[in-house]
Amino acid sequence: MARIAVIGGTGYAGSNIVAEAVSRGHTVVSVARSVASDRVEGATYVEGTLLDVPSLVAELEGVEVVVVAVPARGDMAGQVRSNVAELVAELPAEVRVGVIGGAGGSLVAPGGERVVDQPSFTEEYKPEALEAIGILEDLQQGPASRDWFYVHPAGGFGAWNPGERTGHYRDGGDVLVTDEDRESFISGADLAVAVVDEIEEPKHSRERFTVGY
């Protein structure tokens, strides 16, 4: 069993990852700026923020995997990329890092354009998407000694469309996962299944991958 910390562990993606990891017997620390009133039994909750990386790193002592599930929106817009880079640089070399990105960095076809560059992509979401892509670029350009994985959820992923846990998903590599009707969706619970699967049986060392149905 792994010792896992989820940064943003009380948010939509983060809370699902915490719940899934605990259900599989992992030791899980949920880190957020405020402790949630609705907690997952068996998880440890601590206060911490990406905006104070030195204090955050101290909270993570002994953790084997750190998953960052903090979207670059609201008062975190423009602040996530630089602080994730600082966090990755400060963590012990043996700690594996996972990042939950957005659908915008996925490709529309093998070797094709990014979703964020399509005319249909909503303009107001572009800054968040581009900052998330910047985090991926920083990881790709970082030292080979740092193991990491980066997850692009399906286009219809979000608290507004939670869905249910099926235990199933498809891994699309670099390409946005869509169904036969060209719809792109994954529930919060099944995104968490994919993340914990990757932690338990790594298939994407220093790679990104997309998930959906």
pTM: 0.97
- Which pLDDT score is estimated for 159? 94
Residues 58, 74: Cα–Cα separation, whole Å? 26
Compute the mean pLDDT over every residue in the chain, rounded to the nearest whole number.
97
As a whole number, mean pLDDT of residues 44-51 equals: 96
Residues 187, 167: Cα–Cα separation, whole Å? 10
Residues 6+ away with beta carbon under 8 Å from 144: 206
Tell me the residue range of the domain where 23 lies: 3-212
**Residue 137: both structure tokens together:** 């670029």
Is residue 47 exposed (0-12), middle (13-18) or buried (19+ Cβ within 10 Å)?
exposed
Residues 77, 210: Cα–Cα separation, whole Å? 23
Residues 188, 211: Cα–Cα separation, whole Å? 11
- Asked if pLDDT for residue 35 goes beyond 90, the answer is no
Domain CATH code at residue 43: 3.40.50.720
Q: What percent of the chain has pLDDT over 90?
A: 98
Q: What is the pLDDT of residues 56-84, one digit of tens each?
A: 999 999 999 999 999 999 999 999 999 99
Of 148, 71, 77, 66, the C-alpha closest to 103 is 71
Return the axis-axis angle of helices 12-23 and 188-200, rounded to nearest 10°.
50
- Which pLDDT score is estimated for 37? 81
Number of domains present in the structure of the chain: 1
Residues 131, 198: Cα–Cα separation, whole Å? 23
